[in-house]
Amino acid sequence: MPRNRALAALALACLLVLAGCAGGGNDGATQAALDGGDGNEMGTAAPEATNADADDATGGAQAAGDRLWIYTANARLRVDDFETTRANLSTTLADHGGYVGSSRVSTTERNNETYHDARIVYRVPSENYSAFTAAVREEGTVVNFEEDARDVTGQHADLEARLENLRAERDRLRELYEQANDTQDVLAVQRELSDVQGEIEATEARLESLDNQIAYATVTVEFHEERPDVEYDPDRWYDTGVIDAFLESVDGALVALRAAVVGLAYALPYLIAFGVPLVGLALVARRLFGGGLPSIRGGNGAGDEAEVDEESEPSAGDRDE
């Protein structure tokens, strides 16, 4: 960035020197432009004068009340017949010079009956915004309606002024490019010219998008058709809503817990009557038989086997005899 700024400053200094050397010729050209007509005079106006004119124009527009607005609305409707409602709004939209920006429609079938949910974005000229939203309200029961009006007069003026300055800077850089002789100067001016051109295109795109939003209001409508009244089908349990399914599961868990408590209450007397004696007999049997077994096994342990082996094996003296 410091190198680019230094090169830009050098290029601007070269332009000033060339402008001073060609002062006489420029005066003649300016006089010829004045004699030729107002259009050329406006074309050679300085950027400062252009900015002042833009500020004066903006101030005059604001004083006259000619401000720029972006209108948006979001509506949710409950309708009896979706197809009829969409056809009516399509006719109204065409009469007001609008168009459909986007559309999404879903169809659900239950027991050979269908209902529709939709989300349609309408773009209508701003001068017909109020009339179209009134027509939307009449097509069904309004569940929710939100609208917004945003003043973008200052934003639009800033973009226009920035675009005008960028174009003037591009024209100066083109003159420098034509007059540059050194290779480094040519490359530096070319880079600056490329950056300015990119900013011009980006600003033009933003201004075009803003102009479109100003010219056409955006009305987003969500349609919800009445659901058919059908009985619950166990084979289609997945059609149950998430909250309904959760509540039904909670009820089922409570019923199961209650059944377990009642069953335990019924079984508790039997457990006391038969379980306690059985447990007592098991403890007595363990004490009688389980405690004596280790001593019996201890008498027939490895020590006794060793004694038997020692008695049965003859000694060395006996073998000699």
SS3 of 73-123: the string is EEEEEEECCHHHHHHHHHHHHHHCCCEEEEEEEEEEEECCEEEEEEEEEEE
| Residue scoring higher pLDDT (100 or 24) | 100
| Region 62-71 average pLDDT | 72
Element (H or E) spanning 71, and its range?
Answer: strand 69-79
Q: 228 pLDDT band (50/70/90 cuts)?
A: low
d(CA 199, CA 124): 31
In this prediction the pTM is 0.49
d(CA 120, CA 86): 9
d(CA 207, CA 157): 10
Q: Are strands 113-125 and 99-110 parallel, antiparallel or unpaired?
A: antiparallel
- The yes-or-no verdict on residue 162 having pLDDT over 60 is yes
Nearest to 202 by CA among 192, 190, 194, 191: 194
Q: What pLDDT score does 242 carry?
A: 67
| Region 140-166 average pLDDT | 95
Nearest to 103 by CA among 121, 85, 123: 121
Element (H or E) spanning 51, and its range?
Answer: helix 47-63
Q: What pLDDT score does 10 carry?
A: 52
Q: Interior CA angle at 159 toward 170 and 98, to 5°?
A: 120
Q: What pLDDT score does 142 carry?
A: 93
Q: What pLDDT score does 254 carry?
A: 81
| Residue scoring higher pLDDT (37 or 102) | 102
Q: 256 pLDDT band (50/70/90 cuts)?
A: confident
Residue 276 C-beta-side C-alpha neighbours within 13 Å? 5
Q: 38 pLDDT band (50/70/90 cuts)?
A: very low
Q: What pLDDT score does 70 carry?
A: 96
Helix (H, G, I), strand (E, B) or coil at 34: helix
Q: 264 pLDDT band (50/70/90 cuts)?
A: confident
Give the 3-state secondary structure of 114-166.
EEEEEEEEEEEEHHHHHHHHHHHHCCCEEEEEEEEEEECHHHHHHHHHHHHHH
Q: What tokens does 163 get?
A: 């675009």
- Of 28-32, 111-115, 123-127, 272-276, least confident by mean pLDDT is 28-32
Helix (H, G, I), strand (E, B) or coil at 225: strand
d(CA 123, CA 90): 11
Q: What single-letter DSSP state applies at residue 22?
A: T
What separation in angstroms does the CA of 239 have from each of 110, 118, 230, 231? 9, 19, 11, 11
Q: 205 pLDDT band (50/70/90 cuts)?
A: very high
| Residue scoring higher pLDDT (185 or 48) | 185
Q: 236 pLDDT band (50/70/90 cuts)?
A: low
d(CA 58, CA 273): 99
Q: What single-letter DSSP state applies at residue 204?
A: H
Q: Are strands 216-225 and 69-79 parallel, antiparallel or unpaired?
A: parallel
Q: What tokens does 296 get?
A: 């019996």
Q: What tokens does 269 get?
A: 């007397």
Q: 319 pLDDT band (50/70/90 cuts)?
A: very low
| Residue scoring higher pLDDT (128 or 234) | 128
